[in-house]
Amino acid sequence: MKKKHILLGMVFALCLICAGALCVPQTASAKGITKASQAKKLAKKQVKGATSIKVKKERDNDNGVLVYQVELVKGKKEYELAYRASDGKLISQSWELRKAYVKKGSGKLIGLKKCKSLAKKQVSNGKIVKAVKKRSKGIDLYDIKMQKSNKKYELKYHARTGKLLEYEWELISKNTSSNTKKKYISEEQAKQAALETAGGGSVVKIKFTTDDGIKVYEIDIINGNYEYEITVHAETGKILDVDKERIHSANPGESTEPGQDAIISQEEASAIALEAAGGGSVVKIKLDTDDGVKVYEVDVINGNFEYEIEILASTGDVLKTEKKTIKPSTSDNPGQTQPNPGQTQPDGKQLIGLDAAKQISIADVGLDAAEVSFQKTKLDYEDGMAIYEIEFYTDTYEYEYEINAYTGEIYNKEQKKIAGASENQPGNTESKISIEDAKSIAASHAGLSASDVRFKKAKLDWEDGRAVYEIEFYQNGMEYEYEIDAITGKILDYEWDLDD
């Protein structure tokens, strides 16, 4: 009898266990997320006291997994959280201050160095991989990208107040490992996706590159009077970004509806260039944008001359023609080293020197040294011939000369009007700071000395009727870009970035 009671008790207990198992509620973590309400519940638990706005289900661009994106609001901040549907894991979280609470601010910039320090405090032991100053919606920002363990971070600080405006972290996908072989869509597939987005047209440029760690195709398309720059995800084929810009037309009354032929074809441009050169062969043709206007740049070889011809793409008008003599080699040893100042030719002739070459070039245009600024003076060796390359500019024109380093003969010269400059430009008579002054101003602002940095670019240009110096230089792994008012020396714009 006792054994019978024990057996009945065991059966009863087993029934209770089974009943309990059947009654246990299913959780998101047990079998992942299958409903938007589950994702919303997890997000509200993560950001306590927040109000949910929207939940959407989509496929993640980086690794192709299904995720639930939850948008919330709490106080002054807007949040976005992403949960992986397969296991309910939080894979990214971000917040940003709501627009009403973001002020432009005033005063001096806090500086990139101080901002990096703030970021390192925010993400303890994080490694900064990129730091750049930006301007967005009238506000100066420092954009800091970091990495720590299996997460990547992006922080945006107000450049004047040092306030953190946006914060985001995201799990680094295992699929981004170098050991994982990825499959990318073909170039033709990317073109097709871009053409469908642009509504047709012609692909003029395609580039396979990496953007923020994602492999993409960058595709330029001309369709009628519009140019499209379209970014296509190289794995999924998804359109990530579309930039549409109207091509400036030479005829103000011309229609700008997409689909119309707004530019001449390459074949037509080639024929126009050959006519301008008096025959020959086209060796290079390129569609480019010059000061907002689409132009064909065509190189033609005809006999002993090379022509560089610029053609307005909308009308076929020849804008510029440059003619160069193809220099025959004067040496049986093309690999010989460059000549040094004072070096003597076999016939006894010596180099004329840089100063003499500069004087020959400016005298050719009827100017003196006080009226020009030299940008480049260099002794070079081309096709077995020693030449001086001289570049200089005035308020309205840029000049480039190639001069025989032994005889002083001008082999090639080019004169080009500076974009935006006018013969009657107000302020042309004002004295400008020198290019060396502009370099010093830029370097000093960056806390450096002009003698200690490596300059990549130093050029006078015109923007919106104003003469500006464009200065670019490198130092200690950083790249610096400046625009400086050529009259006042005021810094108009600048950007610092890590030199990748």
Parallel, antiparallel, or unpaired for β 90-97 and 385-393?
Answer: unpaired
- Picking from 460, 341, 359, 458, the residue whose alpha carbon sits closest to that of residue 405 is 341
Residue type, 279: G
Instruction: Give the per-residue pLDDT at 157.
Output: 94
Q: Name the phi and psi angles at 107, rounded to 5.
A: 90, -170
Return the H-helix or E-strand segment holding 267.
helix 266-277
Strands (E), 160-238: 164-171, 202-211, 214-223, 226-233
Return the H-helix or E-strand segment holding 392.
strand 385-393
Residues 426, 428, 430, 433, CA torsion sign: positive
- Picking from 264, 245, 265, 266, the residue whose alpha carbon sits closest to that of residue 256 is 245
Quickly list DSSP for 10-74: HHHHHHHHHHHHHHSPP-HHHH---SHHHHHHHHHHHSTT-EEEEEEEEE-TTT--EEEEEEEEE
- In the chain, which stretches have pLDDT less than 50? 19-30, 176-180, 248-261, 328-344, 346, 423-429
Strands (E), 149-197: 151-158, 164-171
Q: Name the phi and psi angles at 333, rounded to 5.
A: -125, 85
The alpha-helical segments, DSSP class H, found in 47-204 are 112-122, 187-198
Q: Which two tokens stand for residue 329?
A: 């080699």
pTM, entire model:
0.37
Dihedral angle of Cα 442, 444, 449, 455, to the nearest 10 degrees: -10
Going along the chain from its start, the domains and CATH numbers come out as 33-176 (3.10.450.40), 187-246 (3.10.450.40), 266-324 (3.10.450.40), 327-417 (3.10.450.40), 435-498 (3.10.450.40)
The alpha-helical segments, DSSP class H, found in 321-368 are 354-364
Query: Within a 10 A sphere around the Cβ of 428, how many other Cβ atoms?
Result: 14
Instruction: Give the per-residue pLDDT at 101.
Output: 83
Task: Please check whether residue 472 is in contact with residue 457, taking contact to mean a CB–CB distance below 8 angstroms.
Answer: yes
Residues 6+ apart with CB under 8 A from 34: 85
